[in-house]
């Protein structure tokens, strides 16, 4: 067995250096990757291993300019994510990756960028904000349209507002259900898209969230005239290996761990409406 071949399956240990409680069930952790920097494209993911519990795919949510700091936002939804969310600084996790395709941050240059994210779907696009901010002059208007269930479920809220202020992003937030703390928009995220005043012929749209949400977002984007080949989405599937060998993430001929998770709408559209593929 060659060492290179082994690396595909074998994680690298990395210590947790910080942890931020984002919402009731979601945390952001930073891992020290100085010993094996994770150079990634926004949209890519890693396999995170919790000792004794197993591996799970998690999008990278950090700044691509800092491969020595691996940042993940994780929501506790299952057997492996529960212990991952419970880790504390000093503990060590296993990491493989990065894997998969990234958002079209280069293709989007010289035009407007519209990011539409909902719920935990904000985590995989967070590196896009860093990438756009790093070369802000290459983009026209940048729209960040974010939906969440309640104000308490909004991820990165303060940071997004800081980013929007510092880099001139048009940030719009909406929630499905308001509470006393919220005097902003109440309604679904597609409505932010209806209201955003961008030029559909010059815009690249990136959407990430539950599949049903993305279905409505894409429908609205197409209605506004964004071409199918300028719409990108991130598909989520059960993944066990992330290297195209376990078969779990197949969607038609795609292994979404390799030709996804990020893909263009015109590549996805014919399968999107066939249920249960």
Partner 1 sequence: MSDLANALGAHPFLAGLSDVHLAEIAACASDVRFTSGQVVAKEGRPADATYILRKGRVALKAGPHVVETVEDDEVLGWSWLFDGVWHVDAVAVGEVDAIRLDGALLDAAMHRDATLGHALSRRILLLVHRRLERARLRSLDVFGVAR
Partner 2 sequence: MSRYRLDPHDLDRLLERLQEGGRVLIGPRLRDGAIVLDRIRSTADLPRGLTTVTAPGRQHLLDRADDALFGYEVGPDAAKRWLHPPRVELWRARKDEGGELFFEGTDEPPKYAFIGLRACDLAAIGIQDAVFLRPGITDPTYAARRADVRIVAVQCGASAATCFCASMGTGPRVDRGADLTLTEVLDGEPHFVVEVGSEEGEALIEGLPVKPVASTAPEEAAARAAAHQERQMPGDVRASLLNALESPAWDDVAARCLACGNCTLVCPTCFCTTVEDTTTLAGDAVHARRWDTCFDQGFTDLHGHAVREGVAQRYRQWLTHKLSTWHDQFDTSGCVGCGRCITWCPAGIDLVEEARRIGGSG
The tokens describing 254, both together, are 């795609």
Whole-number Cα distances in Å, 11 to 56, 152, 166: 12, 34, 37
Interface segment toward partner 2; rule CB under 8 A; list 33-41, 44-52, 63-71, 172-180: 44-52
Q: Is 212 in the site for partner 2 (CB under 8 A)?
A: no
Q: Is 2 in the site for partner 2 (CB under 8 A)?
A: yes
Q: Is 124 in the site for partner 1 (CB under 8 A)?
A: no
The smaller minimum CB distance to partner 1, of residues 83 and 98, is found at 83
Of 89, 165, 210, 252, the residue at the interface with partner 1 (CB under 8 A) is: 210
Of 17, 54, 109, 267, the residue at the interface with partner 2 (CB under 8 A) is: 54
Longest C-alpha distance within the chain, in Å?
A: 60
Of 183, 247, 253, 275, the residue at the interface with partner 1 (CB under 8 A) is: 183
Q: For partner 1, how many residues bind (rule: CB under 8 A)?
A: 27
**Minimum distance from CB of 12 to partner 1 (Å)?**
30
Q: Is 102 in the site for partner 1 (CB under 8 A)?
A: no
Q: Which residue has the tokens 């940030």?
A: 171
Q: Interhelix angle for 157-167 vs 126-134, to 10°?
A: 20
Q: Which residue has the tokens 């197949």?
A: 250
Instruction: Select the binding partner of residue 186 from partner 2, partner 1, none (C-beta < 5 to 8 A, by kind).
Output: partner 1
Which residue from 228, 205, 193 is spatially nearest to 105, judged by alpha carbons? Answer: 205
Whole-number Cα distances in Å, 78 to 3, 225, 261: 32, 39, 20
CA atoms of 146 and 122, how far apart (whole Å)? 8
243 Cβ neighbours under 8 A, 6+ residues apart: 8, 9, 99, 257, 258
Interface segment toward partner 2; rule CB under 8 A; list 33-41, 50-58, 138-146, 201-209: 50-58
Strands 92-99 and 45-50, by their bridges, are antiparallel
**Minimum distance from CB of 21 to partner 1 (Å)?**
17
Q: What is the DSSP letter of 221?
A: H
**x/- string (CB under 8 A) for partner 2, residues 183-202?**
--------------------
Helix/strand/coil for 32: strand
Query: Can you give the binding site for partner 2, defined by CB under 8 A?
Result: 1-2, 5-6, 8-13, 49, 51-55, 77-78, 90-94, 236-238, 240-241, 243-248, 250, 252-253, 255, 274-277
Query: Can you give the binding site for partner 1, defined by CB under 8 A?
Result: 25, 77, 118-120, 147-149, 153, 176, 178, 182-188, 190-191, 194-195, 209-210, 212-213, 216
């Amino acid at each position: 067995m060659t060492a290179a071949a082994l690396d595909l399956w074998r994680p690298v240990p990395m210590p947790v250096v910080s942890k931020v409680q984002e919402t009731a069930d979601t945390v952001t952790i930073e891992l020290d990757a100085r010993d094996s920097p994770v150079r990634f494209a926004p949209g890519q993911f890693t396999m995170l291993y919790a000792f004794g519990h197993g591996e799970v795919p998690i999008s990278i949510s950090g700044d691509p300019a800092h491969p020595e700091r691996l940042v993940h936002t994780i929501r506790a939804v299952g057997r492996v994510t529960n212990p991952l969310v419970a880790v504390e600084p000093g503990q060590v996790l296993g990491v493989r990756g990065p894997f998969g395709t990234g958002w079209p941050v280069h293709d989007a240059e010289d035009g407007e960028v519209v990011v539409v994210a909902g719920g935990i779907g904000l985590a995989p696009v967070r590196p896009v904000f860093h990438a756009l901010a790093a070369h802000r002059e290459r983009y026209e208007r940048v729209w960040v349209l974010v939906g969440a269930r309640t104000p308490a479920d909004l991820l990165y809220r303060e940071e997004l507002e800081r980013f929007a202020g510092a880099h001139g992003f048009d940030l719009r937030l909406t929630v499905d259900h308001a509470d006393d703390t919220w005097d902003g928009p109440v309604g679904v995220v597609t409505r932010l898209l209806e209201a955003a005043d961008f030029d559909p012929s010059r815009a690249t749209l990136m959407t990430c969230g539950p599949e049903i949400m993305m279905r409505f977002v894409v429908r609205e984007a197409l209605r506004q005239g964004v071409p199918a080949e300028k719409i990108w989405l991130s598909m989520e599937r059960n993944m066990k290996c992330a290297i195209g060998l376990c078969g779990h993430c197949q969607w038609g001929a795609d292994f979404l761990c390799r030709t996804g998770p990020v893909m263009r709408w015109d590549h996805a559209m014919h399968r999107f409406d066939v249920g249960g593929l």
